[in-house]
Structure 1
Amino acid sequence: MLAGMATTPEGLIFRRAARVLIVDERDRVLLFFGGGLIRQDADYYFTVGGGVEEGESLAEAAAREVAEETGLRVAPADLGAVVAHTAGPWSTHDGVRFHSDDHFFFLRTAHFEPDLSGLEEGEEKEISRHAWLSLADLAATDAIVFPVGLAGVLERLLSGERLDAPVEMPWVDRSAAA
């Protein structure tokens, strides 16, 4: 899986990712609950999405990831422009080090029950469940929410604000966040 992947000058595996903020008609975002790949000692939520494959655009990768991870089919053009971005280092609990470059799309859809049957083996181990969370739920949770700054970006998007450029969200090393 890691053979042939680009590395940074610091020796980290470079991972460009396309992620999607999937929001239903009740203004709840679909998040996955982590099961231990990154943190074994903390509960955490993270967004739908994953790595961009060679030859894919960000939107193509995002649409593919949404289908694989949730069963929802969406055309890349329906995702619009990137609404947020964050980048930085992290590592798996067993020490594999990455530098992620995460690009986020915003997708409004009717509520649906995600079909997790398309998850890859590593994703099956990582994702223990999913949840549709409101802004109030995000504020109330004791779990870590990745990306940091998600609630602020969602609040802007849900208010109808049109973003002229992607919002730069702060990076917190997921493997070290408390």
Structure 2
Amino acid sequence: MEEKKELLDQDERVVEIELERLRGFVNHPFKVQANSQMIELQESIKKYGILNPLIVRPRQDGTYEIISGHRRKFAAEKIGYRKVPVIIRVLKDDEAVVSMVDSNLQREMISPSEKAFAYKMKYEAIKRKAGRRKCGQVDHNLGKKSIELISLKKYIDNLV
């Protein structure tokens, strides 16, 4: 595994990992399609390389689960890359779900069913993180229910 010099967080750095060591996110709601946008992404990667590293988390079997970057991995694989730049983050399951959903909702072309499933996954993860399964899962730091937090984020994202 070859390390690059760019430091991110205290424990994070950009490294290159072989494609065969990367695994898709379990129950990933967003489909990777070989369409015209994928061709554009492949052309961009051929010309400029992968500008934004994938975000992955380590698994017990020595592989890495992709949190963000399924399309970049697919495109890189199709044009013959053997390694891709990644940022390795240690995330709990629910943190990984929230991060995966948030990083993918900014994409332009998302079907309503993908979006709905993603919000449902995020809602369930936030409920579990709160540690309670009843009462609408109030976040005691902000005084809001989980579903209100998701709605507020969606509203703010639409303003930007």
For Structure 1 versus Structure 2, the TM-score category normalised by the shorter chain is: under 0.3
Calculate the TM-score normalised by the size of structure 1.
0.25
Q: Which has the larger radius of gyration?
A: 2
Q: Which has the higher contact order (CA 8 A, sep 6+)?
A: 1
Calculate the TM-score normalised by the size of structure 2.
0.27
Of Structure 1 and Structure 2, the greater strand share is in 1
